[in-house]
Structure 1
């Protein structure tokens, strides 16, 4: 199998990634996230990743109602880890590019060049509307805004001083020192499903995250993103989030999945579905409609249910037939799931532990 990267999607928000009362509740805890991050290193993963979430979806589990801020968390985890890359999530709305450029360079130095950045434009706009920071007509111009923002950031990371007079930002002989250690820039990833979003990702990012519950759709989008990048004269990697329900046998894994589904937080599922269908973006609307139609869709990412052999089979198929380069792992219980993944799945993938 071709070389792949494997990461852990840290449960930084209430109840993690399963909308179920039978999942680990994961109230925000730095000690817990530190231990999960260190375990990720011990079992041989390549990176850890944290999302940005400013408003949850309620329900019996208070799903994502409480969460840590991504960049602050990853800065702290830089001092608690030694090897894994650290991907933090940012929406350009939250920080002026000059402030962000220095923040990112600081964390990159603190981690000895391990910082990666996940750039988002906002899956649910009400997270940012509640702050009163949305520019007029932002939903229609979000990628113009993000394009100008990241172009300014990259200039600040590479030029001695920046003059910029754009649609959204104005800088005059603006300096940002020191520059990041990682050259030419910290790794940049982006998740998008619209044509505009895919073009933005192919143009500006190093890796595209693909989220779908359908394996054939993942393969098609992976090839599509790479082809688009090729048309622009560059290459790009693709990554897929996987929600793993591991068991000793298929029957064990199936039973564990049913246990999680029995505890489905139907109110949180409804609230998330309604929030997504209210967005203007087609991808968000589709995800929301699926959740409103099926109360079993309690997972984030592509659910893969089975023993180690089944997990390895799906990863290998996506890597080879879909040309996927990276896999971001989610679990209902991260300590148990990561340990089992390291012990059982990593050897099947030809990866060593630690």
Structure 2
């Protein structure tokens, strides 16, 4: 499956200072969403951020709030799954259950949740919160999701007395159109993988090499089978740089890398829990440029054939959902549909879909 990620946030295509036509505007968001729908993309998901990472352009500093954003996207699309990214500590489960049910009705049964357990201290500080410990994050997340699902499914008011929520008379009407709106959860740690395999339909992963990705995928399948959820999907995020020739693509990649916003990349690394003090001074430049060029997962660079080959390799490593981003969505996304997507069908890693 193919998806679009983060078009509600500035810096969607990487942490650099190279000019782009991409902007955080409702008109452009509508255009991208409608393109994705017509091209046969299956997934559309925003980034949730309340405060940026600084640097020259304040990477991810300008964002639309995700629930209202995706309600709007749901109203103008007819096919893509409209997945709402929520930082769980900042959104009460009673409210979330009602909001997602509403979006499910707006979309005629296409709403889902991308569950983020809460890790960015600057965001959480704006709500008077502090991140839970890594272990407690998933205990909180489980209780949060249990409440939401009970509101979605139970027909009589119920009380809930848990570690994090003490609730009385919970009920939600109307119910979602879907019996069980899909759940997405990022998972790299053993605790995260266990949570995702027990609760999610898709899990996100980041990786340093294809070998590591394959190892993670194999472990995910093993844990998922033990959890009775063998069909859980594995998703990644990719920046696509597709040009007529490999030389052109590599030159543009080098241009982006040369103009990386190292301050923002460093701030992102620190907030993500990376011990930057362990990076040797002579390695800092390359280290932070690597982060800047792939804040999600991977950068796919080359001709249409080469991009398709790289996507086939991701598929062979166990990835069955790929969220793609572009430096210039309005120009590059249609070309991706014309040149790359047919090659994916020819390689047998994507079924033909109705477009238009």
Same fold (TM over 0.5): yes
CA contact (8 A) 1:247 1:253 kept: yes
Q: Does 1:145 align with 2:145?
A: no
Per the alignment, residue 277 of structure 1 pairs with 273
DSSP 3-state at the match of 1:349: helix
* 1:328 Cα offset (Å): 0.7
Q: Which moved more, 1:63-72 or 1:123-132?
A: 123-132
Choose which of 102, 111, 117 in structure 2 pairs with 1:115: 111
* 1:69 Cα offset (Å): 0.8
* 1:91 Cα offset (Å): 1.6
* 1:138 Cα offset (Å): 4.8
- Describe the shift of the 1:198–1:24 C-alpha distance in structure 2 as closer, same or farther (beyond 3 A): same
DSSP 3-state at the match of 1:248: coil
After the TM superposition, which segments of 4 or more aligned residues of structure 1 sit over 6 Å from their partners? 289-292
Per the alignment, residue 311 of structure 1 pairs with 307
Q: Does 1:41 align with 2:54?
A: no
**Alpha-carbon distance between aligned partners in 2 of 1:333 and 1:208, rounded to the nearest angstrom:** 27
Q: Deviations over 1:138-158 (max 9, x none)?
A: 555111111111011111111
Per the alignment, residue 215 of structure 2 pairs with 220
DSSP 3-state at the match of 1:208: strand
Q: Which moved more, 1:206-215 or 1:246-255?
A: 206-215
Q: Deviations over 1:303-344 (max 9, x none)?
A: 11111111111222222x223211111111112221111000
How many residues are paired up?
341
**Alpha-carbon distance between aligned partners in 1 of 2:93 and 2:273, rounded to the nearest angstrom:** 31
CA contact (8 A) 1:219 1:323 kept: yes
- Describe the shift of the 1:150–1:112 C-alpha distance in structure 2 as closer, same or farther (beyond 3 A): same
**Alpha-carbon distance between aligned partners in 1 of 2:19 and 2:138, rounded to the nearest angstrom:** 36
Q: Deviations over 1:181-224 (max 9, x none)?
A: 012x1110111211111111111111111122422222221221
Choose which of 162, 166, 174 in structure 2 pairs with 1:166: 162
Kindly report the root-mean-square deviation, in angstroms, between the aligned alpha carbons of the 2 structures.
2.2
Choose which of 315, 337, 340 in structure 1 pairs with 2:335: 340
**Alpha-carbon distance between aligned partners in 2 of 1:78 and 1:290, rounded to the nearest angstrom:** 42
Q: Does 1:203 align with 2:198?
A: yes
**Alpha-carbon distance between aligned partners in 2 of 1:191 and 1:206, rounded to the nearest angstrom:** 11
Q: Deviations over 1:254-277 (max 9, x none)?
A: 011112122211221222223223
CA contact (8 A) 2:9 2:62 kept: yes
Q: Does 1:293 align with 2:282?
A: no
DSSP 3-state at the match of 1:245: strand
CA contact (8 A) 1:9 1:328 kept: yes
CA contact (8 A) 2:104 2:111 kept: yes
- Describe the shift of the 1:290–1:51 C-alpha distance in structure 2 as closer, same or farther (beyond 3 A): farther
Question: TM-score normalised to the size of structure 2?
Answer: 0.90
CA contact (8 A) 2:307 2:340 kept: yes
**Alpha-carbon distance between aligned partners in 1 of 2:254 and 2:287, rounded to the nearest angstrom:** 18
- Describe the shift of the 1:244–1:23 C-alpha distance in structure 2 as closer, same or farther (beyond 3 A): farther
* 1:292 Cα offset (Å): 7.4
**Alpha-carbon distance between aligned partners in 2 of 1:149 and 1:233, rounded to the nearest angstrom:** 21
Q: Which runs of 5+ in 2 are unaligned?
A: 346-351
**Alpha-carbon distance between aligned partners in 1 of 2:84 and 2:267, rounded to the nearest angstrom:** 26
CA contact (8 A) 1:48 1:85 kept: yes
Question: TM-score normalised to the size of structure 1?
Answer: 0.90
Q: Does 1:250 align with 2:231?
A: no
**Alpha-carbon distance between aligned partners in 1 of 2:240 and 2:285, rounded to the nearest angstrom:** 19
- Describe the shift of the 1:140–1:200 C-alpha distance in structure 2 as closer, same or farther (beyond 3 A): closer
**Alpha-carbon distance between aligned partners in 1 of 2:193 and 2:21, rounded to the nearest angstrom:** 34
Per the alignment, residue 348 of structure 2 pairs with none
**Alpha-carbon distance between aligned partners in 2 of 1:334 and 1:60, rounded to the nearest angstrom:** 22
**Alpha-carbon distance between aligned partners in 2 of 1:271 and 1:133, rounded to the nearest angstrom:** 20
Q: Which runs of 5+ in 1 are unaligned?
A: 280-284
**Alpha-carbon distance between aligned partners in 1 of 2:274 and 2:3, rounded to the nearest angstrom:** 31
Q: Does 1:18 align with 2:14?
A: yes
Q: Which moved more, 1:226-235 or 1:17-26?
A: 17-26
Choose which of 70, 82, 106 in structure 2 pairs with 1:86: 82
